């Protein structure tokens, strides 16, 4: 059966890298990118493949069962890689219900439509849910998250992702759907919306704006280059065992304040500023409510069983990332002004 893969959230940060990888690497697959184009979805992320013969974009919401059902029918969807989600913890604190609606209801909706469309042949299709390490909660010692670590989500965002993971596994158990879940650490790289720590700091340093560090900046995150996550998703999609979970991470832990200082140092060099200039922008602000202290992934299983490991060291990845933002001022301007929405209008609505 020729593969026709539905990738949801493909106009977002990680999804766009997954779509670009699959469209360029697997010319015999049809790739259907479904995205609602919320504030986080940006078709400019996909310019280099938008004319490819094996690529289709569909603007739709995963909460809309009718649109999903007709899309499964018209594109004969064989597999799903599900990334569409509300993804920012701070937004989940101010509007938790939006996270329940998309991350929980939207995911269950998608599971239902897939189950119906694949009725009688569920063993021939795969539903892959892309999730986060945040479902495991907050570490306060030097241990790591394993695939067997009990879920203990602490924010509305992670609670909604945990819930959606549980539903995916429930469909595997109850209806014998072929499913796989991967839980990844924090990603960084090109096309990252500048509300998250790394792109926000790059943008603010460039524009001499304050760098808001929550609390004392002592919280720890494990950072992985986004293209390495996309490679891991490719690996899990093709080689992962049905019903399994794979943790994905970079074994690359940093305290927030150390990341911010590193960005200041590198940006001073690249912008020709005197050493120490950008550090003066660091501003300690009120801590995030319920701020998770530390995330750390043990990625041994995917390394040993599927042979995946990160291809880039952090030093190299962060250089590529900063250089990308400096070279793509237009992208940043469009995203920060909101005018990237016009790109969609021009491309898909005014023709």
**Site residues, ligand TYD (CB under 6 A):** 89, 186, 196-197, 200, 212-214, 219, 221, 256, 288
| Residue among 134, 165, 228, 253 flagged as catalytic | 134
Selection from 216, 252, 238 nearest residue 308 by Cα? 238
**Is residue 36 within 8 Å of 58, Cβ to Cβ?**
no
Query: Among residue numbers 108 through 137, which ones bind ligand NAD (CB under 6 A)?
Result: 130-132
Selection from 15, 306, 328, 296 nearest residue 141 by Cα? 296
Binding string, residues 2-41; x marks residues near ligand NAD by CB under 6 A: ------xx-xxxxx-------------------xxxx-xx
The partner in contact with residue 41, picked from ligand NAD, ligand TYD, none with C-beta cut-offs of 5 to 8 angstroms by kind, is ligand NAD
**Is residue 32 within 8 Å of 76, Cβ to Cβ?**
no
73 is catalytic: no
d(CA 236, CA 184): 12
- Only segment of 186-194, 252-260, 279-287, 313-321 that touches ligand NAD (CB under 6 A): 186-194
Taking the complex as a whole, the smallest distance from the CB of residue 132 to ligand TYD amounts, in Å, to 7
**Is residue 36 within 8 Å of 8, Cβ to Cβ?**
no
Taking the complex as a whole, the smallest distance from the CB of residue 215 to ligand TYD amounts, in Å, to 7
Q: Which is nearer to ligand NAD, 146 or 279 (CB)?
A: 146
Interaction between residue 87 and ligand NAD (CB under 6 A): yes
Rounded to 5 degrees, φ, ψ at 37 are 55, 60
50 is catalytic: no
Q: Which is nearer to ligand TYD, 221 or 227 (CB)?
A: 221
d(CA 297, CA 295): 7
- CB proximity list for 318: less than 8 A, separation 6 or greater: 188, 198, 262, 263, 266
Alpha helices in the chain (DSSP H): 13-25, 65-75, 89-94, 96-99, 107-117, 156-175, 197-206, 226-239, 256-270, 300-306, 314-327, 329-337, 340-344
Taking the complex as a whole, the smallest distance from the CB of residue 211 to ligand TYD amounts, in Å, to 8
Q: Which is nearer to ligand NAD, 78 or 132 (CB)?
A: 132
Interaction between residue 106 and ligand NAD (CB under 6 A): yes
Taking the complex as a whole, the smallest distance from the CB of residue 106 to ligand TYD amounts, in Å, to 19
Closest CB to ligand NAD: residue number = 12
Q: Hey, what's the torsion of the CAs at 347, 349, 350, 351, to 10 degrees?
A: 80
Q: Which is nearer to ligand NAD, 84 or 113 (CB)?
A: 84
DSSP character at residue 219 = -
DSSP character at residue 309 = -
The partner in contact with residue 212, picked from ligand NAD, ligand TYD, none with C-beta cut-offs of 5 to 8 angstroms by kind, is ligand TYD
134 is catalytic: yes
d(CA 340, CA 247): 33
Which residues bind to ligand NAD, rule: CB under 6 A? 8-9, 11-15, 35-38, 40-41, 61-63, 83-87, 102, 106, 130-132, 161, 184, 186-187, 193
Q: Write out the catalytic residue numbers.
A: 133-134, 157
């Amino acid at each position: 059966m020729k593969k026709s893969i539905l990738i949801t959230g493909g106009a977002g940060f990680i999804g766009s890298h997954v779509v670009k990888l699959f469209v360029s690497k697997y010319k015999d697959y049809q790739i259907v990118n479904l995205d609602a184009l919320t504030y986080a979805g940006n078709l400019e992320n996909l310019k280099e493949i938008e004319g490819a013969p094996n690529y289709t974009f569909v603007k739709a919401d995963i909460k809309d069962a009718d649109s999903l059902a007709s899309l499964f029918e018209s594109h004969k969807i064989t597999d799903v890689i599900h990334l569409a989600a509300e993804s920012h913890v701070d937004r989940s604190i101010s509007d938790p219900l939006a996270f329940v609606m998309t991350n929980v209801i939207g995911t269950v909706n998608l599971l239902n439509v897939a189950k119906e469309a694949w009725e009688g042949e569920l063993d021939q299709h795969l539903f892959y849910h892309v999730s986060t390490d945040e479902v495991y909660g907050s570490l306060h010692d030097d241990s790591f998250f394993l695939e067997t670590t009990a879920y203990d989500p602490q924010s509305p965002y992670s609670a909604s992702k945990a819930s959606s993971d549980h539903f995916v596994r429930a469909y595997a158990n109850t209806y014998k759907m072929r499913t796989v879940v991967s839980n990844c650490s924090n990603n960084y790289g090109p096309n990252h919306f500048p509300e998250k720590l790394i792109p926000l700091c790059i943008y603010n340093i460039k524009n001499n704006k304050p760098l808001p560090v929550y609390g004392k900046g002592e919280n720890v995150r494990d950072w992985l280059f986004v293209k390495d996550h996309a490679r891991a998703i490719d690996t899990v999609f093709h080689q992962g065992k049905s019903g399994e979970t794979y943790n994905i991470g970079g074994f690359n832990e940093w305290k927030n304040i150390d990341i911010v200082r590193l960005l200041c140092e590198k940006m001073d060099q690249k912008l020709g500023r005197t050493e120490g200039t950008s550090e003066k922008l660091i501003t300690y602000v009120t801590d995030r409510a319920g701020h998770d202290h530390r995330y750390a992934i043990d990625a041994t299983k995917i390394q040993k069983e599927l042979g995946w490991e990160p291809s880039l060291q952090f030093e190299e990845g962060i250089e590529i990332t900063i250089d990308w933002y400096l070279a793509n001022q237009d992208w940043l301007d469009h995203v920060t002004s909101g005018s990237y929405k016009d790109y969609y209008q021009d491309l898909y609505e005014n023709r």
